[in-house]
Amino acid sequence: MGKLTYDSTMSVEFEDRVLAHLQLVIAAKLRRGEAFFFSWKDDPAAGDGRTSVWLHPTIPLSFKFYGSRQPAINRAWVESLMQAANSTHGLQIIPEPRQAGENGSHGGVE
């Protein structure tokens, strides 16, 4: 599990693999100066609802990975997440798509 910390006041845990893909999409949008919503389904321990935050280039974010190895990146997933981030609904975690020729369970590219 990794942790995304927003504005030093809110932290949420995601699997390292999910967090690595989110980091790529979020960094790309913020690097271009684009603000957008990011929403996720809360853990049942946190009330089992949904949370949305407004991501803006001036709001500090940190990504903490607990695994020591960089997860393989699925380019198709990054593109799908970017399309979601560019939509009116904002960035939401979507299931990882399979890549062409994939044999493994996670669809990553080494």
Q: List the domain boundaries for the chain.
A: 2-92
Q: What is the mean pLDDT of residues 2-16?
A: 95
Q: What pLDDT sits at residue 25? A: 98
Answer whether 20's CB lies under 8 Å from 30's CB: no
Averaged pLDDT of the chain = 90
Per-residue model confidence (pLDDT) at position 109: 40
Q: What is the mean pLDDT of residues 55-84?
A: 95
What single-letter amino acid sits at 110? Answer: E
Is residue 40 pLDDT above 50, yes or no?
A: yes
Provide the whole-model pTM.
0.86
CA triple 35-39-41, angle to 5 deg = 170
d(CA 18, CA 77): 10
Which positions ≥6 away from 45 have C-beta within 8 Å?
Answer: none
pLDDT at 9 over 90: yes
Q: Are 28 and 83 in contact (CB under 8 A)?
A: no
